[in-house]
Amino acid sequence: MEQESPFKGRTGLRRLINALRYSLEGMLSALRHEEAFRQEVVLAAVLVPAAVLAPVTALAKALMIACVLLVLVVELLNSALEAAVDRISLENHALAKRAKDLGSAAVFLSLVNLAVVWTIVLFG
């Protein structure tokens, strides 16, 4: 029989408070344990202000910032996938490698997307 989370039944303000707390715990965990995430946060700390200051339209600024945030989102999902795979087993397995490689490829594509969008916005 499946075990349901005791927090799934929460509603209203309590659910929102719990969701915010879990999100902040996840961000702090990523900052503590994931070097790639820390590097991408530093990148975001440079690029978000650069996008705000860039002499482009508000829509272009939003697109540039969205691409930066997408990299962080994909990195968080990749880190979650890696943690789940490692929780299942630390032994070398072709499917575990494939899962981790696919997550890494997703991060790479989000970085390529970032570079392409920023290049198009800034240089036409």
Tens digits of per-residue pLDDT, 4-17? 776 566 788 999 99
Which residues does the annotation mark as catalytic? 75
* Residue 7 pLDDT: 59
* Residue 1 pLDDT: 65
Please report, as a single letter, which amino acid is at residue 108. F
* Residue 46 pLDDT: 98
Contact 72, 40 (CB under 8 A): yes
Tens digits of per-residue pLDDT, 33-56? 999 999 999 999 999 999 999 999
Tens digits of per-residue pLDDT, 84-104? 999 999 999 999 999 999 999
> What are the C-alpha distances in Å from 113 to residues 42, 68, 117?
18, 9, 6
